[in-house]
Amino acid sequence: MKLIALLSVLFLFNSCGNNKKVVLTTHKEVIILADGLEEKDGDVSVVISNHSNLNLKDDTIGAIYPVIASGNNIVVSFKYEEKSPEGTADGDYSETLHFEIPQNTTVLNLMDKELNNVKLLYGKQCFCRGEAGYYEVKKGTIKIVKTESDMYFDISFNIDETSAKLVRVAQYIKL
């Protein structure tokens, strides 16, 4: 019961004064697109990897990418995906967020440089030259409330290196 009350307060606090567009809202998720973008039907998926670590690797041109490996933490992978119209080649679009938290996390609030503590990583997958790829999130906030059976995370972020459709993701998950 305490978790539900806390989640309600967090949601209400973070919703005040927000003029961004809400794309998907249920009692379990809130996804907000940047100003000026139209609502789209997007698919959302979340993968929780227990006993894992999020490793950031470099490819041959120096770009980073995530690798989920066996470890002692929990890795959360969130994906927002828009399918292209039928008959369109290379029109799919997706954005991902990856982060890692210790197994024993109960409450976590991080901002800006502190986001390094959870290795918050944004990915953009599309046919958009010079913009697709993975980026370390350096500006934003992440709030996490976790119990043995539930997790709530609320991420607001900004990426200077590329445009992003997502600006905020809040998700409630049964573990």
Positive or negative: CA dihedral 137, 138, 140, 144 = positive
**pLDDT recorded at residue 22:** 37
Q: What is the pLDDT of residues 108-156, one digit of tens each?
A: 999 999 999 999 999 999 988 889 999 999 999 999 999 999 999 999 9
pLDDT confidence bin for 95, thresholds 50/70/90 = very high
Cβ neighbour number for residue 19 with a 10 Å cutoff: 6
Is a pLDDT exceeding 90 seen at residue 6? no
Count: domains in the chain: 1
**Cα dist. 30→61, 136, 173 in Å?**
35, 22, 12
What residue has token string 């800006």? 112
* Alpha helices, DSSP H, located in the chain: 2-15
Q: Which two tokens stand for residue 113?
A: 């440089």
Question: Global pTM?
Answer: 0.81
Q: Which two tokens stand for residue 117?
A: 């503590």
Q: What is the pLDDT of residues 9-67, one digit of tens each?
A: 344 334 433 333 334 444 456 777 776 555 556 788 899 999 999 999 999 888 999 99
How many residues would you count in the chain? 175
C-alpha 84/C-alpha 99 separation (Å) is: 27
Residue 41 structural domain? 2-174
**pLDDT recorded at residue 30:** 72
Mean pLDDT over 72-93 rounds to 87
